[in-house]
Amino acid sequence: MHDGCTSVFTERRHAMHRRQLLKFASTSAALIGLPRSGWGQQSWSINPFSLGVASGSPTSQSLVLWTRLGAPAIQAAGLTTVAIAVTWQLAHDRQFSRIAATGIIQAAPTLAHSVHAEVSGLEPDRVYFYRFIVGTATSPVGRTRTFPASHSAVNRLRLAYASCQQWGNGFYSAYRHMLAENLDFVLFLGDYIYEYPSSRPIEVRPTTGGWITTLDGYRSRYALYKSDPDLQAVHAAYPWVLTWDDHEVQNDYAGIHAGVSGTPVADFMARRRAAYQAFYEHMPVTRASFDKLLSAHADEARIFDCISFGRLATLYTLDDRQYRDAPACSPNQRTGSNRVDPEKCESWNQPQRTLLGAAQEAWLAQKFSTMQGQWNLLGQQTLFGQRNFNTTGGTLLRSDGWDGYPAARRRLTDAILQTQLSNPVILGGDIHENWVGHVLSDYNNPESAAVGVEFCGTSITSLSNSTPERLAQQLKTNPHFIFANAASRGYGVVELTPKQLTTTLTAVTDASDPNSTAFTLAKFAVEAGHAAVARL
C-alpha cells in the first residue's frame, strides 16, 4: 500500500527503486558468505569512510543509504579518475546476521565518488542497520528506520528540527545532545553549509577554502562540515529529511537571481547547478529528485515532497529558494535581505509575487485537500509569521522571507482554511533565533483567527545580532508570537500523539565548547483541534 503522499513523482521514485532491486538481486545472493575478489583486494592507507554514513528520504517502503569515499583516501590509492565498486548491506540486526538487502554501486568520479543506495520493498515501521564495504575497509554501522504505512494507527512521533550550522561559528555539540533524544527522524531546514568562511572576525575553528563558487569548492566545503564527529554520529543514528536554504548556494539568492556574498560570478546559474549537484552528492536524497539536473544538465532539482507517518502526521518539505521572485524594492537593485516599509514599496503586495513558485503552490494546495494525517507539519526554511521590526510606530518588514511575499503567504493560509487542514504546524529556521507563535489568517488584521502554530528554530552554531531588549520590544509589537530568544544555539524536538503536540527547545551552554552541556530553554504544548500554543 502506498504512502498517503504518493504522486507521479514518488511513483517514479519507487519504480526506480524496484528496478534497482531487480538489478542487484543476483549479485546480492552471490555476495553473502563468499570471499571478496577484485575490489575486495583493494587495501587503503587512509580510511575511505572519513565522511561517515547517512540515511534519509524515508517512506514506509524505502530508504536512501549514503556515503562518499573521501578524496584523500582515493588520491592515496591512485583511483581519482575511476569508478569504485562499493558494497552496501542493510540488515535487521547490528551484527548483520540477518541481511534484508544488499548490492553493489559504482561510486563514480563524476559524482565525487558518492554512493546513494536506494532500497525499496522494505517493511514499514521497522528499524534497520546498514554499512558499506570497499576492499579491506568497512564503514561505521548506521541505524535507520522506515515510516509506518499511511493507513496505520500510530501513537507517537518524535522528531528533531535543526538548521544553520556555520562551521567557523562553533562546534556541533548540539548534535551530541540530539543523539540521546530517541528520535524517529531529523528534519533539517537549510544552511547545511555556508559558502563563505565566517561572518565573524574570529573563527572558533578555521574554515578552509575561503569563498566557494565552483563544484570543487562546494565539494570541499561539504567534506569539511561532514568531518565533524558529532554531525556524523547523528547522521548514523537517525534517518534525515532535508531541504535547503540560501547558503547551500549563495547568501540571499532568489531563484535565478544571484545573492550578495563574495565576488560576483559571470554565470550565476552555472554556480547554482554546481551547488545543487554538490548537495545531491553529499545528502541521502533520491536520484529522481535530481535526475534532470544530473542527466540533462537542466537547471532544476525537485526537492519539495511530502510523506505520511501513519495516520498520525503528514510532513511536507518545501523549497522557498529555487522558484522565488526577486525581493521587492531592493535599494539600488541590490538582491538580498533588506528592511522595507511596505507603504513605500509599490510592488510589495503585487498578487503574482511568489516565494514557492506556481507549480509548488498548486501541488501543496492539492496535497492539503487529500491528506489524512491528524497533524500536518510544514518543514520550510524561515519565519512564517509577520515580524515588524519597527517597535516605535510604523512598519519595517524583512524582504527576504515570507514578509516580503505577503500575497504568497496569504495564498498558503487561504489553502489551509479552504481545505480545513487538520492541525497545521509550521517549522522553520534561517534567522538564528527561536520564535514561537500563532499563524494568523490575515496579518493585516491582528484580530484575525489563528489557523495554526509555528516554531521557528535557532541555529546549531550560526550567530544572531539581536539582543534580549530588542526581542522583548518586538514581541510587544508582534503579539501573535508568544516567545522569542536570540541568545541560544541548539535545536527543537517535536513529539506528537493523537491528542497533543509538545515542543522542547534545547540550547547548548556554549557553542564554542566542543564538550558543552545543554539545557531546556523552553517547552510548549498544542492540543489537537486547537490552533493555540501554550508555554509549559
Spatial contact of 403 and 480, defined as CB atoms under 8 Å apart: no
pLDDT of residue 40: 61
User: Coil, strand, or helix at residue 333?
Assistant: helix
For domain 153-207+229-243+304-535, the CATH architecture is 4-Layer Sandwich (3.60)
Of 462, 351, 399, nearest to 254 by C-alpha is: 399
Q: Which candidate, 262, 235, 285, 266, places its Cα nearest to that of 118? A: 285
Confidence of residue 333 (pLDDT cuts 50, 70, 90): low
pLDDT value for 263: 83
pLDDT of residue 372: 79
DSSP E strands: which ranges in 25-176?
53-56, 63-68, 84-91, 99-107, 114-119, 127-134, 137-138, 142-145, 157-162
Rounded to an integer, the average pLDDT of 229-253 is 98
Cross-sheet strand order for the sheet of 305-309: 305-309, 313-317, 375-379, 424-428, 450-456, 434-440, 481-485
Write out pLDDT tens, residues 493-512. Answer: 999 999 999 999 999 999 99
Scored b (16 or more CB within 10 A) or e, 158-192 reads: ebbbbbbbbbbbbbbbbbbbbbebebbbbbbbbbb
Q: Residue 295 phi/psi, 5° resolution?
A: -95, -40
Which one-letter amino acid corresponds to residue 286?
T
Class of residue 285 by CB neighbours under 10 A (exposed 0-12, middle 13-18, buried 19+): buried
**Model pLDDT for residues 50-85, shown as the tens digit of each residue:** 999 999 999 999 999 999 999 999 999 999 999 999
C-alpha closest to that of 41 among 178, 121, 171, 133: 133
- Whether 20 shows a pLDDT value over 60: the answer reads no
Q: Using 50, 70 and 90 to split pLDDT, how confident is the model at 98?
A: very high
Counting residues of the chain whose pLDDT is more than 70, the rounded percentage is: 92
* Confidence at residue 6, expressed as pLDDT on a 0 to 100 scale: 55
3-state secondary structure 138-162: ECCCEEEECCCCCCCCCCCEEEEEE
Per-residue pLDDT at 260 = 85
Domain extents in the chain: 153-207+229-243+304-535
Q: How far apart are CA 259 and CA 246, in angstroms?
A: 8
**What phi and psi values does residue 415 have, to the nearest 5 degrees?**
-65, -35
Contact (CB, 8 A) for 490 and 518 = yes
Q: Where are the beta strands (DSSP E) in 137-282?
A: 137-138, 142-145, 157-162, 185-188, 240-242
In the numeric block, the cell 514506509 is attached to 60
Nearest CA to 278 among 193, 182, 374?
193
* The three grid cell numbers given for residue 191, joined into one nine-digit string: 544552511
- pLDDT, mean of residues 239-257: 97
Query: What's the pLDDT score for residue 341?
Result: 95
